[in-house]
A and B are shown apart, each in its own frame.
Chain A
Amino acid sequence: MRVTECRHRGAALAVHFAEGDERTLEAARAHLESCSACREYVGDLSALQGTLEAWGEEPPPATLRARVLARAAAAPRQAPKPSPAPDALPLFTLVPVMAALVAAIRVLAGGLSSWASGPGSEALALLDLIGPTPVAALCLLALGGLATLALAPALFLESRGPSRTLGAQS
């Protein structure tokens, strides 16, 4: 039998290269004991390996290092992909926003309170129930939601604009 006819010639590779776990190698060695074709093949692989070694490692030219490093240093570097998330605002910028929001709630709550206690005004049971400040907050929240909805198309188009690129570094 020739080794090309052996279904288990992978065993010859495993033994020649000592590749695989101990169990695989054990099975491969066991196969080789019973298969002379694969045993011969292992011998041929060793002979071929020896022949191929005639083309040993060649030293690169001495000038190559300088050329490689100079060319690399001159090349523009690739930036990592920008994060899809927008940049977060620094926390301190939120302080005036929050202060303005609180002030707006207070003003609106005051207005609602005086309107509800005005002559002939029996309406707004909600004000009686939960108080003017929470109602003012709810009103502002609703207004904010409406504004966001109105701006959504513009924000969407903006987000699909040209992506941000970082400057090239050398």
Chain B
Amino acid sequence: MEETDEALMAAVAGGDASALSALYDRYERPTFNLILRLAGRRDVAEELMQEAFTRLWTTARLFRGERGSFKPWLFTIALNLTRSELSRKRYRVRHLEPEAAEELPALSEGPEALAVRAQEKGRVEAALARLSPLLREIVVLRMYQQLKFAEIARLTGAPEGTLKARFHRAVAELRVLLGVEETPCA
């Protein structure tokens, strides 16, 4: 039977490096993609992955794990490191400006599906990069990581109502950035 994350963390706390490897293998992709989508740069994501798992290793004894609590713990580490890095490096982050949508690369009717997909990906990346960090965070955590608002609230310490308000704002901005117009209803 596969060991739980919390059992592996207990082993990590005891200095078992193989347990750390097992946890890394389990969470490499989601953690890497979380950081990548928040930071928007692969080099930063790689650096912060190293930092996140080093912190996990060095502070494992402080983890008080109930069942199901490891993933939020790891994501909190990753989120805090990314926030800290983004604020330290002063990455260019702008709120939505009227001309922002026009600056985004437009979708073309290219014959190569691969090229189109790459272009679509680029548009999404660019749109997310234009959101403020808090709006980007809520989109990444809810839409990509599929965390519930209640889980995000526990992770970030922000009230659920605040997170939902941020989410609505993020959706409104993304609609404009990605050219999805809001539909007025009767």
Contacts and interface: CB of A to CB of B under 8 A. Distances in A.
B32 interface: yes
Interface of B is mostly: helix
Interface of A is mostly: helix
A61 B175 contact: no
Contacts of B29: 57, 59-60
A76 B182 CA distance: 53
Contact of A48 (B17, B148, B178): B178
Interface in B128-166: 128, 139, 142-144, 148-150, 164
B176 to A, nearest CB: 11
B175 A1 contact: no
B44 to A, nearest CB: 13
Interface stretch (B46-54, B72-80, B95-103): B46-54
B180 A47 contact: yes
Interface string A51-91: 11011111111001101110111011111100000000000
B114 interface: no
Interface residues of B, number: 54
B62 interface: yes
Q: Which of B42, B49, B139 has the most CB of A within 10 A?
A: B49
9 contacts: A1-B185, A4-B168, A10-B164, A48-B180, A64-B28, A69-B53, A72-B20, A72-B58, A169-B15
Interface of B: 15, 17, 20-21, 24-25, 28-29, 32-33, 36-37, 42, 45-46, 49-50, 53-54, 56-62, 117, 120-121, 123-125, 128, 139, 142-144, 148-150, 164, 167-168, 171-172, 174-175, 178, 180, 182-186
